[in-house]
Structures are given as C-alpha cells and as structure tokens.
Amino acid sequence: MSLKPNEKERKHPHTLSTLSFQSASSGIAAKAMRTELNKLTAAILDAKARKAFQTEMDNFYMLFTRYLSEKAKGTKLDWDKVNEPSPEQIINYSSLSRCENPQHLNKLAVLKLNGGLGTTMGCIGPKSAIEVRDGMTFLDLSVRQIEYLNNRYNVSVPFILMNSFNTDEDTMRIIQKYGSHKINILTFNQSRYPRINKESLLPMPRSPAGDISQWYPPGHGDLFESMANSGILDRLIADGKEYLFVSNVDNLGAVVDLNILQHMVDSDAEFVMEVTDKTKADIKGGTLIDYEGTVRLLEVAQVSPEHMEDFKSIKKFKIFNTNNLWINLKAIKRVTEEKELNLDVIVNTKTLEYDKKVIQLETAVGAGIKHFKNAHGVNVPRSRFLPVKSTSDLFLVTSDLYSLNHGELMMNPKRLFQTVPLVKLGDEFKKVSNFMSRFESPPYILELDHLTVTGDVTFGAGVQLKGTVIIVATMGHRIDIPPNSLLENKVVSGNLRILEH
C-alpha cells in the first residue's frame, strides 16, 4: 500500500487548511483590535471628544479589517487585466476649449494637502513653512495665488488646508499673518490613527493621550472622510461650492486653471485627475490604468516584483499622477454617506526605537477615482507639476529658470527647451540650511542640461552653468567655484580652494 500523495495533493498540500488558519487568525486579530480600540475610546471623558474619536477609530477599524482580509486572501491585481487607458479615459489638455469666463469660480474651493513635515529636507515643522523663493514659503505663494485670483475676477474662492496633528498647531500660528488679506482660509485635521505592532497586530498606544510617536496620519486618501467628519464638506456645499481643486502643498505648478474647471463642468465629471508625461525621473509615480473597463490608479506598492519593470516602462505606462485633482463636492458627500469608498490599502512598515517594527495602513486620494462618475484623466503640461521634494528641486525653483508672477512660478521663455535640467546634489546639500550656505547666490542655469555635485563644494556669486557639469570634491578635499565663473560641459574634481587674503 503506497502512502505517497497523488499529484494534485503534492502541488497544493495545505491550501484549504492554510486559508482556514489565516481566516481564523484574522478573526482573532480583528476581535482583539476592536477590544483595544474600545478601551481607548472609553478613556475619553468628554462626550463630544469621545464621539469624534470613536468615528476615527471606526474608520481605522474598517481599514484594518480590509488589510487582514487582503492579507489572508490576497487581492493582487490580475496583471493580464491591466491595460493602458483608452483615449476617452485620458484627454489631452491641448484639446480642451480655451476659457476666459470666470463664471464657475464662485463654485470652486481650493484645498492643499498640508499634513507633511519638512524633515526630509532637514527642517522642523510643516513643510509648507519652508522658504522656497524670494523669502516666501509654499504657504505664502499659495495664499498669494488665491488672493490674486479673487481680486482679478472679483470672486471668493476659499483656501482650505488639510493639516495633520503634526502640522496643525504651527500652521494655525502661521496663518494669522494673512488676516488682512482678501482670502477666506479654512482648516481641518485629517485623522489620527494608531500605529500597529507588527508582531501582535495590536495598537501601539495604550491611551488616547499617549506618546505622539505611536500615532500617524493615514495618507491623503483620508481626505474624503475627514472633510465629512469635520463639517467642512457640509459648510462648503451650504455656501454654494460645487467643485474642489486638490493638490500637494509643495507642488508650485498647481494653480487654478479655468480650462480644466470648464471642462469638468462640460463633461459632467465628478473626478478629474491631472496626469503628465513620464520621464526617467518619474518611473515610480502612480499611473492611470484601464482595469476591466474602469479607470483606476495603480501605485508602485500594488505591483508585484515580477511586473515591476513593466510598470516602470515609459513605453507601456506613458503618464503618471500629479495629484492635482478636481472633485465634485456633492459626489464626495454621496460616497462618504453611502460608505462606497474602498480605497486600496497601502502598507507602510516602519522601525521605531529599540527596533520595534510597526505597521501604518494608508490610502491615496487619487485611488478614489474608481468611485466617481465620468471620472477620467487630463494630460497636462509638465509646468503644472513642479514639486519640491528635495534641495535638488529647490535649486531649480530658486534659479533664473523661473520667474515669479502673483505667486505662480513661470518658466523663463528664454530657455531654449521648455524642459527641466536633471540636477543631482550630494548629501552635503541635503538639508536646506546646508544648501543655502553653499551658494552665495543662485547660479544662472538657463542653458544647463545636467548637473551633478558631490562632496564639499561651494559656489560663488554669479556662477553660470551650461550643458553638462559634474563637480566632485574627493574625500577630505574642497572645491570652491569662484564668483562669476562659467562652467560649460566641464568635469571638475579633486581640490580647488579660494583663500581670503
């Protein structure tokens, strides 16, 4: 009598039992999480505060149970069903009708995603408070844009900031200086979710007032529910607002565009995502796809390793999401009230002190596109995507490559090619304070194609950079680029010191 398993059993020996085990484990984890969240909620004595906290924890719990379900069953996209968007799903900006009529502006509100800190650039506090041009911060430039819009067209477009618990206090203090400006500034906070212990799958905090490091803001996909929970959504609708323009606070190209607003009205679209053509620098950016006839956002985190090269390919996925979004406010109210939102869960694993590993469950606002009627993308010029994520980006926006006009950065028409140079600054330039100290004045770069700088390098005033310039200061040495120097298609390496005398 043979005890060998048959071929079928050998291939899938424990499939059903494994699924049953994972399902049972998920059920236990969900129940344990619910118990802990109830304890946290019960610790809040004030009834109003407890109700608001309960709502946040309920939303977090729904996200957590979806995470458990996906972890147990696996819900990766079927790559064979991932297709390029159809021409109806991506419309070219150049095909939009030109609009000078501001008739719909009084139905518009502008929202900036202001939850991030400037830590990656060595700053403390909200990223929106970093000075980026002529002594003005991201926030200053945004306020200036909206104020100019309101004055020019005699309208009242409110300016909204979605803060996080990390940025709210500082932001509220900063915006006091705009009190005399012709602009209505509204703020609300996105949710505060508990970090999850990766081993126990239980919340890190033991108290609602626990260590702030045990909590996190759950990504900008939280916008829909936080707008509804804060009362901001109902307030805007009551004030006659119908459309919301959303963008990242660090995207200096995201200004109100009458052509896109008019197109949104004409096409009766509830959701329009601005996309732009990929370059080699954008290969990890989320892209729009057609999935079983529906337009969806595909993020890099959703792509399995075997399809990563395909995802990064500029040939197949030619565009990426700028996170400039135009959304119908009443549609937001509908999808939140009817609990229609089922945004893709992004799992972010972090390591805290003492090597404690935690999980953050996040969502992206652009993923909401699949829940709105007549939703589609508009392929916009690159000028509408001008983010400042690093000092290499800061180098560009502070240079003569751009001029400032009513808070809007415009590319210098004297630049021969309306493309941005590729700039790579080394670790010595990573922090904003170090970056500023290494330039006596911003170099002239109208004719620059590529710049790489590594090591201990400083620039004198009036330096011109053209073509491809590579500057490498070797370990233990320093390079000072003299004032008024012209570097054109040059490689500078080794040691070059300018001594005071």
Please give the annotated binding residues for UTP, written as ranges: 127, 190, 219, 250, 389
Residue ranges at the known binding site for substrate: 220
Distance CA 332, CA 475 (A): 55
Residue with tokens 């009529």: 101
* Beta partners for residue 161, in sequence order: 112, 187
Task: Specify whether the CB–CB gap between 385 and 251 falls below 8 A.
Answer: yes
3-state SS of 379-398? Answer: ECCHHHCCECCCHHHHHHHC
- Please identify which of the residues 76, 198, 350, 389 carries the catalytic annotation: 389
DSSP states of 397-436: HTSTTEEEETTEEEE-TT-SSSSPPEEEE-GGG-SHHHHH
Classify residue 146 by its DSSP letter: H
Query: Which residues does 135 contact at the CB level (< 8 Å), separation at least 6?
Result: none
Residue 353, classified by CB atoms within 10 Å of its CB into exposed (0-12), middle (13-18) or buried (19+), is exposed
The owner of tokens 């100019």 is 148
Cβ contact 248:113 at 8 Å: yes
Q: Which single residue is written with the structure tokens 């000075």?
A: 131
3-state secondary structure 33-59: HHHHHHHHHHCCCCHHHHHHHHHHHHH
Those residues whose C-beta lies under 8 Å from the C-beta of residue 348, and which sit 6 or more positions away, are: 359, 360, 361, 362
Could you list the residues known to form a binding site, using ranges.
Answer: 127, 190, 219-220, 250, 389
The residues, any chain, with a CB within 8 Å of residue 315's CB and separated by 6 or more, are none
Residue 414 catalytic? no
Burial label for 292, CB within 10 Å (0-12, 13-18, 19+), is: exposed
Residues with catalytic function: 389
